[in-house]
Structure 1
Amino acid sequence: MAAAPFLTTAGTLLTSTPAEAATIDAGQFTLATRSSNSYGEFADLTAGLAGKLTKVDATAVIADTNRTAIHLASAPNTAKAFQTGFAWDSGDQAVTYWTPQGITTSADAYGNGLYPDGGTNKVVLVSWYFDDATATDKGTRLTFVDYSNASAPTYRHVLLVEPVMTSTGEYSFDPIRKHAGGIMWYGNLLYVVDTFKGLRVFDLNTLFQVATAETEVCGLHTDGSYYGYGYKYVLPQSHAYDNTGTYLRYTAIGLDRASTPDSLVVSEYSYAGVVDYSDKSFIGNGTKIETPKVVRWDLDYTDRKLRSLTSTEAVTISQQKIQGVVSRGSKHYLSVSDGETAKGTLRTFTSGSDTTTAVCDLAIGCEDLSYHSSGASGWAFSESVIWNATEYDGTRYVYAVHADGS
């Protein structure tokens, strides 16, 4: 059952009144497809790297985990309606310069919940961004969690990179210095939000194994070897979708397998219910709608790319601090945070409705969401669940709650 609005530790309502929702013109939100960067076609750059490095796919990384997560027997701190979950090892709990953000699972990748198609792996993916002003920005990393044995999950971190050419014409790659607030896995493709610009896409069939001795080097080094800041594997970008219409803050992303066709939704973060577009890095036509939004694009299941570059649905939602979004047709779920000491909440609303309602409490520091249907025959729970990841060091959890809040 839906919970009533709750008090923060400071004694103020997280949402003083139910947030209002309104349908707006979806056609104003458009993207442009891009298969290259300033160095050339992504495919050509990746082929060049393949001539220098050992190419692997995601199944090889999943089979090569090197860290052990901690099984959660009960809900983390303030979360309710708990189904399953884990905490990171002591090192990743304590690290202050890497912060977890996005989450997706193999139940997004394929309808039966298993990876690869026809395989047996149950997998959770989590994105982290680097945040240390005193050190070289190492960009974004992706964690592959083997959750096939929920009582003893294991994992490995991989560095996300963009393929480039050096000044001398050698194939190389650079770190991707982005927030990576939301991720979505669809078939072999991983979608990562680029806050100011749109979506970056990565092909999980193409990763590279690199040398690990140099922890402060990314790409081709003077010794002739390739490094990824000490990580064993790097995942190069393969495509991009750039925002061309009304400004949109690409904060979080979620897959909707209940829509026809499948689709993705993007949500926006705002501190006080007004989206900040002041950063000069935003791209688009300059039009601004400052109320937070949820915007949908249709997907093509045959190649896992966008079916159309024009949005098919857009709604404004007067809700502050939205950290994650997933949808099931016309029903939308939002994760809403409230700082380092107060619980988050899972809220829902229906397209065309006037308000949102609370579903259940989430853990402190709630971030991205991922929907896991009970219809995922290969990896199913007794009822549908929604996965969430939390960000603050010392209390970092990845867990699933019942989608109906029961």
Structure 2
Amino acid sequence: MKQRGRHRRRKRGRAFRAFLAGTALALTGAATMISASQATVDGNPGALKPLSSATDTAALGLQAKQVPQRSLDRLASAMGRPVGVGAVLDNAVDSLRDPDSCTGEERAALPVEPAATRAYCWTGADAGSWRAGAVTTSGDADDDGVWGQNRVILSGWTQDTGTDGRDLARVAFVDANDLRHLRYTSVLLVVPVDGGRDYRALGSRLSGMVWYQDKLLVTADDEGRDALYVYDMNRVQRTTVDAKAVGRVRDGWSAHGYQYVLPAVGSYRLTGGDSAARPESISLDRTTTPDSLVASSRPADDGDRPTLLWRYSFSTASTQTSWSGLLATDTTGRTGPTEAYRTEGSDVGGVLSYHDNWFVARAGSGDGHGTLWRQTEDGAQATRCGSEERRNCWSPDTPSLSYWEESGEVWTQSERMLFALPLASMDRALE
């Protein structure tokens, strides 16, 4: 089992960073050609405005709710002993393609400036009604970047049927031990029901996802007022029936044809009533004490709610064995933001906080590229590209940003491209 204590493996970290630098992709030229047809994106979001009133911050409150242990035990007893991340990676059979094998349309989703140094596209089997969303890595799970013996990338996907809405959510477990050849297998996210005698699909859009210690937190918008669902990475269950159904079937357990399911172990519910801001994108910030979960909202364009950026602290209590790796709460299970801001930006996608800087990705309009901003309480700066110094240099839409501390890279995905680039290059492009 993964040891959760903080430890640095400096020698291996230096070798890994050298490997990244030595194999960086020459993608700048292709991305620059794409920029010629993009329209200028206006709208400086300005300086961040702190929220100080109790009324404003109360709308960001969450209530923790655990799935009863007896329900989880009943499900595990019926399905068989849970497996870990390593067992899932051992069955990774699908491969991502390198940029040379990607289409021009796929590569058009890459940023112009700063350029991606590593990029991949998914196989044809992941097309159709499935849409890529959030990204997190073993660099979030532990600051040495490794979970067990593996480097792992988790990629969230949502199925939109067009008729019933979002009805399935899955996570691709990507074996990232050899960044020249990424392999993966997918796990369906589910929620136990009927006291653990069955499970249902998590019908939620995976726009945000953070793997912290042994827990995976994902954004939720499926039923009721749940804002985040919680999963235990040591509780992956094998299915026994290859069928379209999700849940218990006559001959065993099915998950829409997938070999594995990950049952939820808890959730965080909104406490702010109709005024509550639902987290749309989340990421991890290790530069705070304690570590914190960063969140952003994405209100409708025709609404009057402001876009908010805020953070919750992770718990440091060593006694929370079954609830470790989760947010700090009071004795009633409630938590609130430790910091919150209002921004004038709209269509906010991924958000990343690092020291005093907030990196905010904003979606493009139509087929145009988006923008990447760095915001502080003093102002905002955007990346620029091309002879006309356009601001629309980022990917069209990146729902989440994940910083891999050991390698110094930020991982994200847009449409069908999974890519990474150094945080230092983002900083340079914004200066």
Shorter-chain-normalised TM-score: which range?
A: 0.7 to 0.9
1:367 shift after superposition: 2.3
Give deviations 1:143-179, integer Å, cap 9, x for gaps: 10111111110001110000011xxx77110001011
**Structure that is richer in strand per residue:** 1
| 2:310 aligned residue (295, 307, 311) | 295
| 2:290 aligned residue (231, 236, 261) | 261
Q: Is the 8 A contact 1:8 1:338 kept in 2?
A: no
Change (3 A) 1:233 1:136: farther
Partner of 2:142: 110
State the superposition RMSD in angstroms: 2.5
Quote the Cα distance in structure 2 between the aligned partners of 1:359 and 1:51.
56
Change (3 A) 1:212 1:85: farther
Q: Is the 8 A contact 1:81 1:402 kept in 2?
A: no
Gaps of 5+ in 1: 1-6, 277-288
| 1:353 aligned residue (378, 383, 393) | 378
Q: Secondary structure at the match of 1:306?
A: coil
Calculate the TM-score normalised by the size of structure 2. Answer: 0.77
Quote the Cα distance in structure 2 between the aligned partners of 1:189 and 1:197.
17
Q: Is the 8 A contact 1:340 1:365 kept in 2?
A: no
Partner of 2:46: 19
Q: Secondary structure at the match of 2:125?
A: helix
Change (3 A) 1:264 1:202: same
Q: Secondary structure at the match of 2:309?
A: strand
Partner of 1:371: 403
Partner of 2:21: none
One-letter amino acid of the structure 1 residue matched with residue 78 of structure 2: K
Quote the Cα distance in structure 1 between the aligned partners of 2:398 and 2:268.
27
1:139 shift after superposition: 1.5
1:299 shift after superposition: 0.4
Q: Is the 8 A contact 2:43 2:345 kept in 1?
A: no
Partner of 2:226: 197
Give deviations 1:232-268, integer Å, cap 9, x for gaps: 0000000111111351121110000111110001101
Partner of 1:398: 418
Quote the Cα distance in structure 2 between the aligned partners of 1:179 and 1:306.
21
Quote the Cα distance in structure 1 between the aligned partners of 2:134 and 2:268.
18
Partner of 1:35: 66
* 2:359 equivalent to 1:333: yes
Quote the Cα distance in structure 1 between the aligned partners of 2:410 and 2:166.
32
Quote the Cα distance in structure 2 between the aligned partners of 1:316 and 1:136.
30
Change (3 A) 1:269 1:359: farther
Q: Secondary structure at the match of 2:78?
A: coil
Calculate the TM-score normalised by the size of structure 1. Answer: 0.82
Partner of 1:280: none
Partner of 2:343: 317
Quote the Cα distance in structure 1 between the aligned partners of 2:251 and 2:45.
59
1:134 shift after superposition: 4.3
* 2:111 equivalent to 1:83: no
* 2:320 equivalent to 1:305: no
The percentage of counterpart residues that share the same residue type is: 25
Change (3 A) 1:211 1:340: farther
Q: Describe how 1:139-288 pairs up with structure 2 within 5 A.
A: 139-165=168-194, 171-195=197-221, 197-214=226-243, 216-221=244-249, 223-245=250-272, 246-272=275-301, 276=303
Q: Is the 8 A contact 2:166 2:204 kept in 1?
A: no
Q: Is the 8 A contact 2:242 2:258 kept in 1?
A: no
Q: Secondary structure at the match of 1:59?
A: helix
One-letter amino acid of the structure 2 residue matched with residue 33 of structure 1: A
Q: Is the 8 A contact 2:191 2:201 kept in 1?
A: yes
| 1:56 aligned residue (77, 83, 87) | 83
Quote the Cα distance in structure 2 between the aligned partners of 1:367 and 1:33.
24
Q: Secondary structure at the match of 1:52?
A: helix
Q: Is the 8 A contact 2:66 2:266 kept in 1?
A: yes
Change (3 A) 1:185 1:44: same
Q: Secondary structure at the match of 1:205?
A: coil
Quote the Cα distance in structure 1 between the aligned partners of 2:191 and 2:284.
24
One-letter amino acid of the structure 2 residue matched with residue 64 of structure 1: N
Runs of 4+ in structure 1 displaced over 6 angstroms?
Answer: none
Q: Is the 8 A contact 1:267 1:292 kept in 2?
A: yes
* 2:65 equivalent to 1:44: no
Give deviations 1:36-93, integer Å, cap 9, x for gaps: 3xxxx2x22111011111321122111211211113479943413322121111222x
